[in-house]
Structure 1
Amino acid sequence: MHTTDTSRHAEFGVFMPVASNGFLFSTTAPRFEPSFGHNRDIARLAEEGGLDFIFWMGKWRGYGGTTGFWDQSLEPLTLATAVAASTERIRLFATVSPLLLHPAVAAKTIATADECSGGRFGINIVTGNTLDEYLQMGLVPEGYDGARYEYADEWCEVVKRLWAEDSVTFDGRFFHLSDCVSRPKPARRPTIVCAGLSDEGLAFTARQADYSFVGNASPAVAKVRELAARAGRGIRVVTNLFVVQDSTDGQARARFDRIRAGLDNEALDNVIAGFTRSDRSSAEFRTHFLRAPDTVGFGTGTTVVGGAETVAERIVAEVVDNDVDSVQFTFPDYLPDLRALCADVLPIVRERLARQGITTGEGGRRG
């Protein structure tokens, strides 16, 4: 990922399987528990295939059901730093929750990860789309849900200052630092992503982040760009596609239908119940998405089913018609599916985008 410029450049990445069963709650989908080896192999394959970045969510409590959805998960900062040693070019993004890391600890941890990766590290800031996983730890301050973005704004200000200034004295509502130092500094400020979809979340993203991860919420694209422009900033937009690819459209549809037939409704209901306990404005949108007939998981993004030509056409449409800058992929079975995408789909995509004057590749181009 890179900072905004005047030319159009499209990037491609992988939403990594950091938790049980990736992003699918289905008894008929590939079943696995997360491991370093699996993530390392996916990262290497993505790098060899010319992708630009890999991206990890953070999850601290699963949703059970028959599939044990997300009941096992690896910590993303640690995992991303380990994977950095097994890659050379691809950029790495790990999710960070301001509730879990004091900004002084976060500043040094992220700077360390950035140093370990040779300057390829970035973060995704999540304030908590559900608070259950943080409530179990007793880490949610009173009134947090109504002030989560004020909290995140303070956190970001402190982290950014610690990355840039010799010492920081700060007296805010949530954080208080006196002559606080953090060394070494990152060589360049790590890229910041935010996935907030509420009005507050999009406004925070426009103020603080370099990328807005809108998932499958296409209407958010124009809105976050407008908010960033009002703040005198540019912002790039990331979307997510769940790719079910096969030799033909019909075979891909049959593959998807088999996954859908095994839908773990208990896990699905548990995910939705987590949203129901929150009064966030994005909860209704997320619930509607999870009840849709083409949904077989959480965090998957928009489902794309078809042969190579059909999948390529949809990726191009996301960049050209929906005005997104970056597309990251999830899969039913990561290694073979990513291999097929790199071999059969992305060459078509790159050629068609080039016709539109949109560049790709360049070794994970950075600003």
Structure 2
Amino acid sequence: MRTLELGVFMPVGTNGFLMSTTAPRYQPTFALERSIAALAEEAGFDFLFSMGKWMGFGGRSGFWEQTIEPVVMSAALAGVTNRIKLFATINPLLFHPVVAAKMIATIDEISGGRFGVNIVTGNTLEELEQMGVVPEGYESFRYEYADEWLTVVKQLWTQQRLTHDGRFFQLTNCVCDPKPIQKPYPPIISAGLSDEGLRFGAKHSNYQFVGARPEKVDHVKAFAAEEGRDLKVSANMLIVAGSSDQAAHDRFERLLDGRDNEAFDNLIASFERDNRDSSEGRTSFLRNPRMIGFGTGAPIIGSYDTIAEQLAQVATDAKFDAIQLTFIDFIDDLKDFGRQIYPGLKARLARHDIRLGQDVAASARAAEHA
């Protein structure tokens, strides 16, 4: 029996992921993130995923003009949640591997073994260039840097002491205790879409996020098989729900009416400054005039029953192991998802011999206490 996990892409930046002046307007606060976490846990979601962003992209919507640091936020959320997994983004350029290893192990202990990290090698390097931390020629060796960084972190988690003489890091009889609760170490997530990025995930990661690109599922799993590994592949999707299909489509059209073209242009320009082979593929979806945000993947639009049916179809046809969701209004839409969509999705998946992750986890917990 297959398992499908559900995640929430946490809105850690201004206005979430929507570049539209007709979308809900808000700044990220811990009070908001805590409320979303509680609703997601109650609704049956498996994980909360937080990106790392260090600058905004303007426009009339003020897209991401404020952002919350994801590692600190995840540590705080660990104290107000009970079972949901917490994934936070780390860029290796910003944290020495020994410091990162200690931080991650600490949050793993705080959360009772529910923490994981998303490794990002750059995305929009402009964010890091403003800090002066990007080495010369970094674009040509970013994954080599991340590979050595993560190898060092994993060794610190699994060895009593580490001496390492590498291209980028030198450690002498270095210790990092205590070790993480999760063995051999907390989950690793990555989201690169180039072959180089997919191979990095195949070597190191437990989850590979591929947006709304089902063709990447078999691709990255084949790379993982070459490494003698398996990993879970997750999609990203925006939920646009309404009381009827027409109401949902009307809701989407209202967002399009306020599309912030300036913010889109600024984000595209930032991507293209990296001058990577994958830049065109990473920006092509942003050029679609019916795209209304970043990280939203393919929008799923319709009534509650339609949403449940379409999500079940995606899970069945594309064979994703997880689907990460974004929403227009994270509070009201999450409430509706838990009450109106989750039960229908669960029933539809069962017909295809697919169980939702929390049902599997609940069964495992019951077995432990039997």
TM-score interval, smaller chain: over 0.9
Q: Distance in 2 between matches of 1:233 and 1:336?
A: 39
Checking the alignment, whether the CA contact within 8 Å between 1:243 and 1:311 is kept in structure 2 is: yes
What amino acid does structure 1 have at the position aligned with 2:254?
Answer: R
1:88 aligns with 2:82: yes
Report the number of matched residues: 361
TM-score normalised over the length of structure 1: 0.96
AA of the residue aligned to 1:54: L
Give the match for residue 368 of structure 2.
Answer: none
Runs (4 or more) in structure 1 with deviation over 2 Å come to 361-367
Aligned-pair identity in percent equals 53
Matches within 5 A, 1:235-250: 235-250=231-246
The residue that corresponds to 1:150 in the other structure is: 144
Q: Distance in 2 between matches of 1:283 and 1:311?
A: 31
1:281/1:365 CA distance change after superposition, 3 Å: farther
Partner of 1:4: none
Moved more, 286-295 or 14-23: 286-295
1:219, CA displacement in angstroms?
1.8
Distance in 2, Cα, partners of 1:24 & 1:149: 29
Q: Which of 175, 183, 194 pairs up with 1:181?
A: 175
Rounded Cα–Cα distance in structure 1 between residues aligned with 2:251 and 2:360:
32
Gaps of 5+ in 2: 365-370
* Residues 59-110 of structure 1, C-alpha deviations (whole Å, 9 max, x = no match): 0011011111011001000001101111111110000111111100000000
Which letter does structure 2 place at the counterpart of 1:240?
N
Structure 1 counterpart of 2:287: 291
Q: What is the CA–CA distance in structure 1 between the aligned matches of 2:71 and 2:36, rounded to whole Å?
A: 17
What are the equivalent positions in structure 2 for 1:341-356 lying under 5 Å apart?
341-356=337-352
Preserved contact between residue 89 and residue 364 of structure 1 (Cα < 8 Å): no
Residue 362 (structure 1) aligned to one of 353, 358, 364: 358
State the alpha-carbon separation in 2 of the partners of residues 303 and 362 from structure 1.
Answer: 24
Please give the alpha-carbon distance, in whole angstroms, between the structure 1 residues aligned to 2:310 and 2:191.
22
Residue 17 (structure 2) pairs with residue 16 (structure 1): no
Q: TM-score, normalising length from structure 2?
A: 0.95
Q: Judge conservation of contact 1:51–1:364 (CA < 8 Å) in 2.
A: no
| 2:127 aligned partner | 133
| Separation in 2, partners of 1:271, 1:219 | 25
Picking from 284, 290, 308, the partner of 1:312 is 308
1:264 aligns with 2:260: yes
The 5 Å alignment of 1:1-367 reads: 7-188=1-182, 189-362=185-358, 365=361
Aligned to 1:9, what secondary structure does the other structure show? strand
**1:363 positional shift:** 6.0
CA contact (8 A) 1:268 1:290 kept: yes
User: In the aligned structure 2, how far is the partner of 1:357 from the partner of 1:57?
Assistant: 32
Alignment RMSD: 1.3
Partner Cα separation in structure 1 for residue 200 and residue 76 of structure 2:
30
**AA partner of residue 214 (structure 2):** S
Deviates most, 210-219 or 73-82? 210-219
Matches of 2:79 and 2:285, distance apart in 1: 37
The amino acid of 2:257's aligned partner reads A
State the AA in 1 paired with 2:327: F
**Residue 203 of structure 1 contacts residue 227 of structure 1 at CA under 8 Å; is this kept in 2?**
yes
Structure 2 letter corresponding to 1:294: R
Which ranges in structure 1 are unaligned for 5 or more consecutive residues?
1-6
> Alignment partner of 1:33: what SS?
coil
